[in-house]
Amino acid sequence: MAARLVLATRNAHKVGELQAILTSIGVDVSLVGMDAYPDLPDVVEDGLTFAANASKKARVAAEATGLPAVADDSGLCVDALNGMPGVFSARWAGTHSDDAANLALVLAQISDVPDEHRGGRFECAAALVLASGEERVTQGRIDGVLIREPRGTGGFGYDPAFVPHGYEVTTAEMAPPAKNAISHRGRAFRELAPFIDELVVARQQPGGKR
Ligand code: ITT
């Protein structure tokens, strides 16, 4: 039976996406989203780094459920904005803002930045925390440029304005498996996969160390 792992997010889309990433590389786990634990309070993402927030989300979930937990935190870092919105990516246009408002604000802020200085990157930190407190954190990034007119309807967040280096389409114009293959999140979780295998899957097998 596949080892159970809690994914510290209430975003059902993320549960499906990460299950696909892990299954595609042969990690035999069954992910459970936080929707299965409606009584647990939301974690306040108040760290100054993606790693700090990912680690906090996974730690809270592992402590509350007694199961091994994974979490990620990610965002867009724009060169011309000194790496912002960064950890503030989800709430750049205000506490309850939406993806469209966040994207419009970033594009407005860099509207007079010349093409050669419109570089940026998505970054992601992925964390695994065991109920014992043992922890591993990995990182992934994808570099590209921010175009002026959003294109595409796939993905979410800042995808319609982000063209990865070496591509002509935005990440919102890519099919999900194509984006996962090169994305910051795909990379961070592929780096984390060997630790999930070693610390979770192997230990839940008969005779495995707990
Ligand atoms: P959690 O429940 O897991 O916290 P979230 O919706 O807060 O999920 P993240 O912290 O991972 O999502 O992402 C923060 C923001 O960064 C997200 O709202 C987007 O604006 C942006 N972002 C992250 N990954 C992205 C991607 O692959 N494509 C476009 N935008 C992305």
| Distance of alpha carbon 50 from alpha carbon 83, whole angstroms | 12
| pTM of the full structure | 0.93
Q: Quickly count: other Cβ atoms within 10 Å of residue 108's Cβ.
A: 10
Does ligand 1 come within 6 angstroms of the Cβ of 156? yes
Q: Locate tokens 């060997």: which residue?
A: 194
| Assigned CATH class of 3-204 | alpha beta
Domain boundaries, the chain: 3-204
Q: 53 CB less than 6 Å from ligand 1?
A: no
Cβ of 85 closer than 6 Å to ligand 1, yes or no, is no
Distance CA 136, CA 148 (A): 38
pLDDT in tens, 120-171: 999 999 999 999 999 999 999 999 999 999 999 998 899 999 999 999 999 9
Please write the tens of the pLDDT for every residue from 62-104: 999 999 999 999 999 999 999 999 999 999 999 776 899 999 9
Residue located nearest, by CA, to atom 20 of ligand 1 = 157
